[in-house]
Amino acid sequence: MSAPTDAQRMEKIVSLCKRRGFIFQSSEIYGGFNGAWDYGPLGVELKRNLKNYWWRVMVHERDDIVGMDGAILTHPAVLKASGHVEGFSDPMIDCRTCKAHLRADQLVEKKGVKQCPNCGGKDLTEARQFNLMFETHVGAAAEESSVAYLRPETAQSIFVQFKNILEVSRKKLPFGIAQIGKAFRNEINPRNFTFRSREFEQMELEYFCRPEQGMELLEYWKEERLKFYENIGISRANLNLLNVPDEERAFYSKGTYDIEYDFPFGRQELEGVAYRTDYDLSQHQKASGKSLEYFDEETKERFIPHVVEPSAGVDRTVLAIICEAYAEDQAPNDKGEMEGRTSLRFHPRMAPIKCAIFPLLRNKEPLVAKAKQILDLLRPHMFVFYDESGAIGRRYRRQDEIGTPFCVTVDFETLGEKQSDLRDTVTLRERDSMKQERVKISDLLELLLLRIA
């Protein structure tokens, strides 16, 4: 069997995501809603595992970062001051032949002539700026004074709450404020599955510092963030660092790099890390008239802190985790014959279900009772799944396909029917190697907790 092409691989991933309940098209029964996605029972677990792990390493395991959860509905003054109302736009071009709306950077160029990527048409409009923010109205009257925006990034609520959080947390520079939450952008062309969506989640850190620390901290976060991706199962070989050149950086940024991942559809941004200087806090101080200065008790200086911002996408990282984990190999079936196997080789830390528990036979009451006892033992500590239907091989295959790293089988040895020294032991099978080991039920919880931590 030849290896699938990247396009075929992506098609298989999208199909598996739907078939096994990771990701569905939003409003599918009404024909779908472009740019919006719903996460199913397994997708929501994977997404939560990712967000919880980000929160753990960015907030709980550090003394210098605190969290917040800001509102999505945003006062227009905030986004005027930040520059989004004026400038958060993409250049858009229409194809007069097929009527497609295109981002200017999506045009293809053949022999120096720009063409529509959909129909090859050359009859294109001039580029015009298209603001990506979703506008809404608050209250009953839909007049200009009631305009609000769905936030296009979580960052602005962090800047706006900077002073409150500084006061309540009593942190000293450098310190950070972290947030995970929804952001909305009216993307001209949502595409590549969940990669470019109109509604998505971000995991953002604003790490405030003294001006002279900015460049050094930009460097510091590089290794921290690369380590993070490795710790969720994304190999460094599939990550790339792109130093954003001066002419492409936001005018206020003194340095930016993107962390990119080699998706089947190409190398694309997972996270941007930007040294945003004191731009945002200065803008909000100017526009609100409220001081956003920091007072250094040692030097008695007052100044606006600078900020380094690692900003990652939840949905893009979930997609990268799935793409990285997707594997096809051969495994023996119940008759011992080799057959094709699809598995998701998730890092156990990210896997939606940590352990599946099977009684060898569903109609043997003592096996079922023991399996349920194990279910009750593990359930308070991790997300587990009980399955008694079908041959064991088929049950393994179903768990492999959704990325469950461990399966426990309760068999006649567990009941001590063959050898009394095997009483109260089970088979623990590992997904990738398919190796099986005999483990005492009394050791199971500790052993699994160590492997999924």
Q: For binding to ligand GAP (CB under 6 A), which residues are involved?
A: 153, 155, 185, 187, 196-197, 200, 202, 204, 269-272, 309, 311-313, 315-316
Q: What are phi and psi of 351, to 5 degrees?
A: -55, 135
| Cβ nearer to ligand GAP, comparing 201 with 387 | 201
Alpha-carbon span 19 to 328, nearest angstrom: 16
Residue nearest to ligand GAP (CB): 313
| Cβ nearer to ligand GAP, comparing 312 with 356 | 312
Is beta strand 108-110 parallel, antiparallel or unpaired with respect to 384-386? unpaired
| Cβ nearer to ligand GAP, comparing 160 with 367 | 160
Task: Say how many C-beta atoms besides its own lie within 10 A of residue 265's C-beta.
Answer: 15
The least CB distance from residue 268 to ligand GAP, in Å, is 9
The least CB distance from residue 51 to ligand GAP, in Å, is 13
The least CB distance from residue 91 to ligand GAP, in Å, is 16
The least CB distance from residue 262 to ligand GAP, in Å, is 15
| CA within 13 Å, CB half, 35 | 12
- Looking at residue 211, the DSSP 8-state letter turns out to be G
- Cβ atoms 159, 205 nearer than 8 A: no
- Cβ atoms 81, 283 nearer than 8 A: yes
| Cβ nearer to ligand GAP, comparing 312 with 367 | 312
Q: Where are the alpha helices (DSSP H) in 201-291?
A: 214-231, 279-288
Is beta strand 406-410 parallel, antiparallel or unpaired with respect to 355-359? parallel
| Cβ nearer to ligand GAP, comparing 49 with 427 | 49
The least CB distance from residue 167 to ligand GAP, in Å, is 24
What residues contact 234, with CB distance under 8 A and at least 6 apart? Answer: 261, 320, 321, 324
| Cβ nearer to ligand GAP, comparing 101 with 137 | 101
| Cβ nearer to ligand GAP, comparing 18 with 182 | 182
The least CB distance from residue 199 to ligand GAP, in Å, is 8
Rg (CA), the chain: 26
Alpha-carbon span 344 to 115, nearest angstrom: 39
The least CB distance from residue 229 to ligand GAP, in Å, is 12
